[in-house]
Structure 1
Amino acid sequence: MSTFRATARRAGSWLPLLGLSALAGTLSLLALPVVLGNTVDAIVSNADSLRWLALAAALIGVGVAADLIDAYAGAACVAGTTAWLRDRLVGHVLAVGPHGGRRLDTGDLVSRVSGNAAEAAQAGPSVVAVVAAVLPPVGSLVLLALIDLWLAVAFLAGLVLVAVILRVFTRQTAEVVSAYLRAQGRIAGRLSESLAGVRTIAAAGTVELEERRVLEHLPELHRQGVRSWRVLSRSSAQAAVVGPLVLVAVLATGGVALSAGRISPGELFAASQYAVIGAGLGGLTGMFGRLARSKAGAARVGEVLDLDPVRHGGRTLPEGTGRLEFRGVTVRAGDVPLLDGVDLVVPGGSTVAVVGPSGAGKSVLTAVAARLCDPDEGTVLLDGVPLDELCHEALRTAVGCAFDRPVLVGATVADAIGSRWSPEQVEAAARATYSHDFVSRLPHRYATPLTDAPMSGGELQRLGLARAWRAERLLVLDDATSSLDTVTEMRIGQTLIGDGGRTRLVVTHRASTAARADLVVWLAGGRVRAVGTHEQLRDEPDYREVFG
């Protein structure tokens, strides 16, 4: 099922209500000219016209009530569908994971979740609105045929012209809106990148250069915006010409029919009202434009929902201390291998340093070990169980990750360490990573809002370590101590070495950290060049160059 249809169906019970209100409004609109025509005939013939006037007033009341219901139900439907769609998008983006979502820029994703989701949420109401907008002219055609066949022929000629205009308008609008949203997404993506690196840009003095880079697609955005206005103005102008022509044609044909005695003055009045409905067909361009924007928004939302999420199995781990095994693991970026046929066994309960020059594949190795990405070939096992066969809870309970530039999430410092942990568990993790001292100096200690807790790079890293500390089988540290001072780094390193109940996989550029590890995995060009202790490997000149 397409995203557009799925979103339209999500509107649920609101759509029948919108449909019923639209039908009631259409029927009252179509019945009113007949009632008013009979009123005219009653007045001309000195008959009782009060009952016709009362019926006309009732029909007007029905039309007003239908408009009110349509406005309320439409707004509620779009609001509810937008909330559902955004919730689904956010959940899916998080389920896709860091590597699966790299095909779309962060800013572009935000644009799709915020703006495009709201456009897509118009799917159900826009379909109802288009159908409701088409019913009056079709009904007018039928009723004109009942009054006089030639009136219907004159009206139909105008309808054909309007149908051609609307078809061209809808096709061109869909193309333009899609191109506009793509350009908007590119700008949002680049703006997000710039905001993330605003300090670097300011320090490098490249503000003007970065501004030009971010706004590179602005001319394209402007061009597509101008195109959309041209399409709309051209279609509106054509419809504005066709509408009065329909009115003139029906009135002229009706005048001939009246003079020939085929219709009464009241029927001519009713025919003129139906012709007025035909003259207002140009307003359909707005309805079809709304439908085109909704389809374009749904298409961009669908591109996100089509990304494959990370799949989890249903297994749990047996007893063990975190034995990690790589079997023929290969990871590619396009055609470039980042890891190439890696075979490696990390003993359970050991501290293993991963070293190598830039681009050797260290971060990719740790990402695969923590299942932040899956290998293109091969398997990674933890205590004999393939990672992709573990259930989500078992995997994330067993494996913890800390990074060189952690991003803290949550409302408070305690949330950033462990939102589901008890205060005792939060403090224990903070003490183990030497975070407790600086957290204790904050205004509200662990309850301090993150926005009120300015921290250095080293303090951020220590909180990142604390967040990962409770991993039961495997602790993956991707250069997670690079910003720590030497004394703190050594203390944490000693704590890691003394924690023998789980495996520690540590990416490092420091010889002192490698020296304290039980084993060193030396990577080069995406392959394991050697495995041994620091003492065994340091006689190699290339190995010593890794540490500068």
Structure 2
Amino acid sequence: MTLTGTAADRLLLRTARRGGGWSVVLAVAALADAVATVLLPAALAVAVDDVLSPGPLGPAVAVCAVLVVVSAMTDVLMEWATGAGTARVTAWLRHAFVRHVLAGGPSLGLDPGDATSRVVGGAAEAGLAPAAVIRAVVAVLPPVGAVVALVLIDWRIAVALGVALPVLVLLLRSFVRDITGTVRRYLDVQGTMAARLAEAVRGIRTIAAAGTVDRESGRVLAALPELRREGDAMWRVQGGVGARGLFAVLALQVAVLAVAGLELAAGRISPGELVAAGRYAALAAGLGPIVTHLGRIGRARGAAARAAEIMELPVPPENTGELPPGPGTLEFRRVSAGVLSDVDLTVPGGTAVAVVGLSGSGKSLLAALAGRLADPDSGEVLLDGVPLPRLSRAALRDAVGYAFARPHLFGGTVLEAVGFGTPGAPDETLRHAAVTACADPFIRRLPAGYGTALADAPMSGGEAQRLGLARAFAHGGRLLILDDATSSLDTATEREIGRTLFGASAGRTRLITAHRAATAARADQVVWLDGGGVRARGAHTDLWRDPAYRAVFGADR
């Protein structure tokens, strides 16, 4: 994915508004510090002239002390406001990123490792932007004030400064451009490594069984040299601007002090003004604070560009439609998506339909389209006559329950895992769902039964599937979709669950992707997918006469 800086800057502007009162505190403190910094050389000039002049000292020394105290106090307040404001902005950005990713769902097609890298590391970098912008803007005030002060001291000194100053401005501009690009490339490589690591963790048992630990370690870490190159490039950019800036600053200060010395010799300025001119020359050429904050802005823009790539991805629109009363009739009207083309299919309400086909025929895709985990490229899917995109997210998820081949379980305890997605469901309902899914016996053997922490409840693939089925049964709704959700169950357990799933009392419409002939045989109707469409539909016993249908289940032709 590639994205211009415009989207990244828009995202940073949105985050800047989230700084709240801390941004105001930071701006006021930074402004007070800048004013104190600009006034201090002038007060110091008066103090020096007072010391060199006969007579009592004036209040200039006391003013210098007050300005130093003000500067110290505002420094502390700026650090406090920067930390608090950055934490608030980063938290908002992470919340917004996570909400967008979860709202987009599977349709975004994101790699988990890369997405995690963007939200964890990228959000932290992007969160620095509001404070860095405020401090960078205010950091410009001392140089501007210094130029004005030099004009007031002697216009010839200001001319000497003005000749060299544009070089520093061009240097800063190129720095922001270069640091933004290299940070973006660094984070891209970091995201690639995170994606490979997440993939390896998901397949860690396969890696261990195959004895390919060294090879996979090499694959995950293969991008380290590139990461080092980009890291070195960042430091070269930073170091390069520092070295060139130091030379430019020294040359500028020498020029200003040389002219100021001539002016002192000519009697046009006082010794105190010579001291002030030197201090103001250093302020006018002060690259340090500006480079620091511009570097943070550059890193923030690079990170925001990566975050904005995902934030700009469209998510399914949120509508407000509700479902009318109905039996759960599911319709596919000329639906095309992936391997599926022009699928016309009606699943009557209250029936159990098994979807079969060879691997790659689109069974799981059809199941995803049925509950809007994916949207078709063309055509539409309807539930009780209402196109799914018109429904509110709450109405859709209340109506449709899913069970998957490899369910991911969420919640603090086993009981919470069964109730995930059904807030407020009574414990009795959740326990009954577990009984229906044949999960109750192994749950009761756990140390604390249903109250066992999920992290302390190691489960086999079949036990996890039973919890996934229990979660789907507890969900309720008028449409239940099982995407290969019994593949890891033993025959006896699958037969027991089937009594409820296919019984007349099941009530709900059931769409079941099936790999076993026994599952298809118990369904009210079978839909046979082949060649991107529905090859046939009917009773399993009727379709079994076709040798090609038997071959779907590995039976002899």
TM-score bracket, normalised by the shorter chain, equals over 0.9
Report the 3-state secondary structure (helix = DSSP H, G, I; strand = E; otherwise coil) of the residue aligned with 2:59. Answer: helix
Moved over 3 A (4+): none
After superposition, give the CA deviation of every residue in 1:40-69 in whole Å (9 maximum; x if it has no partner). 111111233251111111111111111111
Partner of 1:335: none
Pairs within 5 Å for 1:16-165: 16-100=24-108, 102=109, 104-165=110-171
Deviation for aligned residue 1:409: 0.7
Deviation for aligned residue 1:16: 2.2
1:273 aligns with 2:274: no
Partner of 2:4: none
Deviation for aligned residue 1:313: 2.5
Equivalent residue in structure 2 for 1:497, among 480, 497, 502 = 502
1:475 aligns with 2:480: yes
Gaps of 5+ in 2: 1-8
Is the 8 Å Cα contact of residues 243 and 282 (structure 1) preserved in structure 2?
no
- Supply the distance in 2 between the matched residues of 1:48 and 1:524 (Cα, whole angstroms): 103
Partner of 1:353: 354
Partner of 2:468: 464
Which residue identity does 1:5 align to in structure 2? L
After superposition, give the CA deviation of every residue in 1:213-235 in whole Å (9 maximum; x if it has no partner). 22232222111111111111111
Is the 8 Å Cα contact of residues 114 and 191 (structure 2) preserved in structure 1?
yes
- Supply the distance in 2 between the matched residues of 1:233 and 1:460 (Cα, whole angstroms): 54
- Supply the distance in 2 between the matched residues of 1:457 and 1:15 (Cα, whole angstroms): 51
Pairs within 5 Å for 1:292-441: 292-332=298-338, 338-419=339-420, 420=423, 421-441=425-445
Aligned-pair identity (%) = 51
Is the 8 Å Cα contact of residues 247 and 278 (structure 1) preserved in structure 2?
no
- Supply the distance in 2 between the matched residues of 1:455 and 1:186 (Cα, whole angstroms): 31
After superposition, give the CA deviation of every residue in 1:66-111 in whole Å (9 maximum; x if it has no partner). 11110000100000111111111111110001122x1x31111101
- Supply the distance in 2 between the matched residues of 1:171 and 1:262 (Cα, whole angstroms): 43
Which residue identity does 1:388 align to in structure 2? P
Partner of 2:248: 242
Which residue identity does 1:110 align to in structure 2? T
After superposition, give the CA deviation of every residue in 1:93-152 in whole Å (9 maximum; x if it has no partner). 10001122x1x3111110111110011111111111111221111110110011001111
Report the 3-state secondary structure (helix = DSSP H, G, I; strand = E; otherwise coil) of the residue aligned with 1:202. Answer: helix
Is the 8 Å Cα contact of residues 4 and 299 (structure 1) preserved in structure 2?
no
Gaps of 5+ in 1: 333-337
After superposition, give the CA deviation of every residue in 1:502-546 in whole Å (9 maximum; x if it has no partner). 111111110011111110000012210000110110011110011
Which residue identity does 1:349 align to in structure 2? G
Equivalent residue in structure 2 for 1:285, among 291, 301, 322 = 291
Which residue identity does 2:214 align to in structure 1? E
Give TM-score, length-normalised by structure 1: 0.97
1:454 aligns with 2:458: yes
Report the 3-state secondary structure (helix = DSSP H, G, I; strand = E; otherwise coil) of the residue aligned with 1:406. Answer: coil
Q: Compare 11-20 and 537-546 and name the one that shifted more.
A: 11-20
Is the 8 Å Cα contact of residues 359 and 525 (structure 1) preserved in structure 2?
no
- Supply the distance in 2 between the matched residues of 1:437 and 1:231 (Cα, whole angstroms): 64
Deviation for aligned residue 1:412: 0.7
- Supply the distance in 2 between the matched residues of 1:52 and 1:230 (Cα, whole angstroms): 44
Deviation for aligned residue 1:283: 4.4
Deviation for aligned residue 1:379: 0.9
Report the 3-state secondary structure (helix = DSSP H, G, I; strand = E; otherwise coil) of the residue aligned with 1:475. Answer: strand
Equivalenced residue count is 541
Equivalent residue in structure 1 for 2:215, among 205, 209, 219 = 209
Deviation for aligned residue 1:308: 1.5
Structure 2 vs 1, CA of residues 283 and 236 (structure 1 numbering), >3 Å: closer, same or farther?
Answer: farther
- Supply the distance in 1 between the matched residues of 2:286 and 2:100 (Cα, whole angstroms): 43
After superposition, give the CA deviation of every residue in 1:236-294 in whole Å (9 maximum; x if it has no partner). 11111111112211111111000101101111111111123245324432221111001
Deviation for aligned residue 1:422: 1.6
- Supply the distance in 2 between the matched residues of 1:320 and 1:164 (Cα, whole angstroms): 69
Report the 3-state secondary structure (helix = DSSP H, G, I; strand = E; otherwise coil) of the residue aligned with 1:2. Answer: helix
Report the 3-state secondary structure (helix = DSSP H, G, I; strand = E; otherwise coil) of the residue aligned with 1:407. Answer: coil
- Supply the distance in 1 between the matched residues of 2:324 and 2:29 (Cα, whole angstroms): 61
